[in-house]
Structure 1
Amino acid sequence: MACARPRGAAVSKRIVVNAGPIETRVAVQEGNLLTDLYLERHRHRSIVGSVYKGTVTNVLPGMQAAFVDIGLAKDAFLYAGDYTASRGVEAALPVLPAVDDEDQDVEIDEAEPPRREAVAPIEQMLTRGQEVLVQVSKESLGSKGARVTSFISLPGRYLVYMPQTQHIGVSRRIRDDRERDRLRAALRSLQLPPGGFILRTNAEGKGEAEFAADVEFLSRLWGQIQARYAQATSPAVLHEEADLTFRVVRDLVSPEIDEFVVDSAEVYDKCLGYVRALVPALAERVRLYTERAPVFDHYGIEKDIEKALRRRVWLKSGGYIVIDHTEALVSIDVNTGKYVGKRDFEQTVLKINMEAVGEVVRQIRLRDLGGIIIIDFIDMEVLEHREQVYKALKRALAEDKARTNVLEISELGLVEMTRKRVRQDLRALLSVTCPTCRGSGVTKSNETLAAEVYRVIQAKVAAEPEPARHEVIARVHPDLATYLEDEGREDLARLESALDVKVIVQPVDKQPHREDYDIKLR
């Protein structure tokens, strides 16, 4: 057991675990830069990868989908193409319930079946009240329930077991053809249970002994799930995916990791046990952090997390990127900012765009952005410059463990890309909608609110059955009250004269929202 090295020490890649009473956070640093952050709240653990016995509550022929009660607050969503009866033994790519999904991009020995293309309408496969075995493939996001599939996939250290398929695949991250062939041969030399397997990136350089242990563990786990399904009353949890610390050891710890730092003695013992069981040769790299300063402060991680919640991110050159979220997509805008270059404007633009590529990809990974992403680079007139930036973007995204698809840069400097989204992004996980702007990012100005208040007063006075002099009580936010009695005083006086009323402005300190007000006549 040793204390972590000082931050200045040369470290290529580091995993840092911060275990607290509410949550466990795991950070991955490359060259002292935060690249990935994983977080698990103790009361709200991720359910991706967990297996359930559920009951179909509704079948929607128009959407070719069904709702399934798996015991959560919202029914889960099951597409027709994600139901095994639609293809027999043919299956979609696996769920891979892990801290990443890098091994979902695989090469299959035979032709890979198309995804989510059901061969029969959902109403012919499922009926209300039918019990089904499903696995969560995507967390509940916003108003949507979790997405589930009946194509079960169970990850081990080196293999992913898919009981309903007959394929053997290899992670695309293993690029050497001879190694790929060797891995397939090594796996096929074993006595395999019915079903298919994917050789994960961690399998590179390994052999029959390691694979045999994974096969035994995963086939036994599948047997337990089947036995529980036969006995359980729906809805029921049949298998819970492991906690974050185990998934990190299983999926991230490799010879590339120079340090594995943990700030809790209890979690350190647990992580060390996991490492000794799965990758004993790397046990000496697990270290207990004992300094007084919080571990994320010591390594500069806390500052990087704070920056990841900001809309604007500055580049070293003086340029900056702006990240905005909408219902449909995430937009990332690259700007010159303070950087004006020297002489050649095109070279200035190229320099900022090239610098932005690295930061854009880092923020995409760190914030765990998913779905449709539009990157608006500064316009480049030179075709070679656009190609240079595009290739740099592709290279940077190759290090991302999530699956991405990137289109070429348009003449306007726009890049359209998609990134697989399995769980909430960092912003949604760490924040709530602002009660002041209600998520819009802006609030009405005092002048606009004053005009609204005057119109409401006019409407209330006009609605009175008989003309009479009234007192109007306007209960408003303190900011608006100050405006009405100061800058807006002349406008208020004209309103009082025109309507023959007396307006009494009452500031309400506990007004729930600055745009809320209450107007009454007396």
Structure 2
Amino acid sequence: MLKELVVNAAEHETRVAVLENGNIVELFMERGDESNITGNIYKGRVQRVLPGMQAAFVDIGLNQAAFLYVDDILDDTTAELAQRFEQENDTDGEEDSDDSDIKEEELSPPAGWKSARTTDCPIEDLITEGQEILVQISKSPIGTKGPRVTTHISLPGRFMVLMPTVDHIGISKRIVDEKERTRLKELLLSFREDTFGYIFRTAAQGIQEKTLKKEISFLNKTWEDIQKKNKTVSAPCLVYRDLTVTFRAVRDLLNDEADKLIIDSREGYNNVLDFLEKLMPDLKVSVEHYTGVEPIFDAYNIEGDIARALKRKVWLKSGGYIIIEQTEALVAIDVNTGRYVGKHNFEETIVKTNLEAVKEIAYQIRLRNIGGIIIIDFIDMKKSQHREKVMSHLNEALKKDKSQTNVLPLSELGLVQMTRKRVRKNLTRSLCEPCFYCNGDGMLLSGKSICHKIYRDLLNEASDMMGNKFTVKVHPEIAQLLHGEEKGLISSLEIKVNSPIAIYPEPHYHIEEYHIFETLVK
């Protein structure tokens, strides 16, 4: 499969598209604002400790306070528990199922840490209000929720992830050769002098001692610099800023995920080459400077796919379609046959539509970066073998997605419940905002409904008014209705209130807005 990274580096915005066989499957974006701060390290001050929630709010200098859960707090007691668990269970870090940093996944301490600590150490015994602590962003702000932070610091490199707060060695699950796993662990133990934790990333497979030592030295120096700055600054303060989205793509996706990077900025092109020469001189990949007249995302047909991924309705090639509705708590995906009528029988039409929808749903979930609870409403299928076939195809399609997913069996109602790990904003939240006209409702009252609402309100208010003439100011479209198709409402009202009613259009009014005035005419 041909995989490429296409980078559009503008002055105030950088976009990185991951292409598979020429089709965009993921989009990473970075702007000059503070919307994507995952991986950054701050010196923060504890604002409030909430024993009832076993959580705390931490001021890190942003508009929203950061949320710190008890499981994400490190102290001497928790470190001892982690070491004890590791000795008793001889874990080698298999919990690290996804090591791609550009996915912004959390790198957790050893399994078992959380259950041991939450029982013995309530949050009020771990931190106090006003205390200064070093925290790392594990989840960027999403909607009205502030960022989530952890004290379990992790510094990802090309081959390793340094975890300076815990003595633990982990190996990516993607390295399946047991001999290689053993070799890597023994190689690290042979020269490791500190008690820091390390996780081997997938790219470390086949790594030589010299390269490994160089990477560890670089990560340790970075941690030393962070500690020095932490001692000299006052909270709240940014202590360490993670790599830009372009350099994260180079570090985490080139070679393993893609063989080529195309960038449309000469300065960005030179910076990427310099980055590769200094930190990854052994990496053999193609880096190309795009010089075409047409914008790079248009040349690779990416803009159209992004626009399609922002639509509520997505058409399938057969003529069917899916509807994607995002709510605060979950995302609902509905499958419909649409214009597809099939060739033989109704059951076959349904199965083909569902199977085509499975592929598109998995693609849209990944491209839109939809997370949290997802409910998929497939068209009802009578035969069990058809339901099993659809579920098999869904699970297979989701394997391409590196974000952690959990899919439950198809219910009797034809519903599939699934979850997908969410650590950053989805595409819609990143690129869109609620409609200023409907305030995000997605619906407006119909013209006739507004006319009848005016009728009821005027009739209700007429008895309390002292005037003998009424003026109603409305949106021009409503005025046209009241002077035309709904003229009978006004005539009926004039008889009921025994007063003339004048309708005036106001171009600047919202279509649902109207005001009733009374006038005393002698």
Q: TM-score, normalised by structure 1?
A: 0.91
Provide the rounded CA distance (Å) in 1 between the counterparts of 2:133 and 2:115: 22
Q: 1:237-248 maps to which residues of 2 (within 5 A)?
A: 237-248=238-249
Runs (4 or more) in structure 1 with deviation over 6 Å come to 91-97
Q: CA deviation at 1:284?
A: 5.4
| CA contact 1:481–1:507 (8 Å) conserved in 2 | yes
Larger CA deviation: 276-285 vs 111-120: 111-120
DSSP 3-state at the match of 1:18:
strand
Q: Deviations over 1:197-235 (max 9, x none)?
A: 111122223232332222111111111112212221111
Q: CA deviation at 1:101?
A: 4.4
**Partner of residue 37, structure 1:** 27
Amino acid at match of 2:50: L
Q: CA deviation at 1:294?
A: 0.8
| CA contact 1:90–1:164 (8 Å) conserved in 2 | no
Provide the rounded CA distance (Å) in 1 between the counterparts of 2:116 and 2:275: 35
Amino acid at match of 1:493: S
Change (3 A) 1:104 1:129: closer
Amino acid at match of 1:20: A
Provide the rounded CA distance (Å) in 1 between the counterparts of 2:121 and 2:373: 29
**Partner of residue 78, structure 1:** 68
Q: CA deviation at 1:419?
A: 1.1
**Partner of residue 351, structure 1:** 352
Amino acid at match of 1:502: P
Q: 1:243-282 maps to which residues of 2 (within 5 A)?
A: 243-254=244-255, 256-282=257-283
Q: 1:216-235 maps to which residues of 2 (within 5 A)?
A: 216-235=217-236
| CA contact 1:16–1:262 (8 Å) conserved in 2 | yes
**Partner of residue 513, structure 2:** 516
**Partner of residue 89, structure 2:** none
1:474 maps to 2:472: yes
Provide the rounded CA distance (Å) in 2 between the counterparts of 1:105 and 1:58: 24
In structure 1, runs of 5+ residues without a counterpart are 1-10
Provide the rounded CA distance (Å) in 1 between the counterparts of 2:176 and 2:263: 33
Provide the rounded CA distance (Å) in 2 between the counterparts of 1:89 and 1:509: 70
**Partner of residue 63, structure 1:** 53
Q: CA deviation at 1:114?
A: 4.3
Q: Deviations over 1:411-447 (max 9, x none)?
A: 3222211111111111011111012222121100111
Provide the rounded CA distance (Å) in 2 between the counterparts of 1:414 and 1:119: 41
Provide the rounded CA distance (Å) in 1 between the counterparts of 2:382 and 2:113: 41
Change (3 A) 1:256 1:458: closer
Provide the rounded CA distance (Å) in 1 between the counterparts of 2:417 and 2:495: 58
Provide the rounded CA distance (Å) in 2 between the counterparts of 1:66 and 1:96: 28
Larger CA deviation: 23-32 vs 82-91: 82-91
Amino acid at match of 2:52: G
Amino acid at match of 1:78: L
Larger CA deviation: 113-122 vs 236-245: 113-122
| CA contact 2:320–2:339 (8 Å) conserved in 1 | yes
Q: How many residues align?
A: 506
Q: TM-score, normalised by structure 2?
A: 0.91
Change (3 A) 1:118 1:40: farther
Q: CA deviation at 1:87?
A: 2.3
Provide the rounded CA distance (Å) in 2 between the counterparts of 1:172 and 1:352: 35
Larger CA deviation: 303-312 vs 119-128: 119-128
Q: Deviations over 1:438-491 (max 9, x none)?
A: 212110011111122222222332223x5x51x222221122111111111111
**Partner of residue 446, structure 1:** 447
Aligned-pair Cα RMSD in Å: 2.4
Change (3 A) 1:31 1:18: same
**Partner of residue 187, structure 1:** 188
In structure 2, runs of 5+ residues without a counterpart are 83-92
**Partner of residue 3, structure 1:** none
Q: 1:130-149 maps to which residues of 2 (within 5 A)?
A: 130-149=131-150
**Partner of residue 123, structure 1:** 124
Q: 1:64-463 maps to which residues of 2 (within 5 A)?
A: 64-85=54-75, 87-89=78-80, 98-101=101-104, 104=107, 114=115, 117=118, 119-254=120-255, 256-282=257-283, 285-463=286-464
1:501 maps to 2:499: yes
DSSP 3-state at the match of 2:363:
helix
| CA contact 1:24–1:42 (8 Å) conserved in 2 | no
Provide the rounded CA distance (Å) in 1 between the counterparts of 2:35 and 2:274: 21
Q: CA deviation at 1:99?
A: 1.7
Q: CA deviation at 1:261?
A: 0.6
Amino acid at match of 1:520: F
DSSP 3-state at the match of 1:38:
strand
Provide the rounded CA distance (Å) in 1 between the counterparts of 2:117 and 2:265: 44
Change (3 A) 1:140 1:400: same
Change (3 A) 1:103 1:172: farther
| CA contact 2:106–2:138 (8 Å) conserved in 1 | no
Q: Deviations over 1:97-135 (max 9, x none)?
A: 9321468599x6x86654994632222222211111111
DSSP 3-state at the match of 2:101:
coil
Q: CA deviation at 1:195?
A: 2.1
Change (3 A) 1:207 1:500: farther
| CA contact 1:156–1:250 (8 Å) conserved in 2 | yes
Provide the rounded CA distance (Å) in 2 between the counterparts of 1:38 and 1:115: 36
Amino acid at match of 1:437: C
Provide the rounded CA distance (Å) in 1 between the counterparts of 2:173 and 2:409: 22
Change (3 A) 1:101 1:181: farther
Provide the rounded CA distance (Å) in 1 between the counterparts of 2:268 and 2:116: 39
Provide the rounded CA distance (Å) in 1 between the counterparts of 2:485 and 2:474: 16
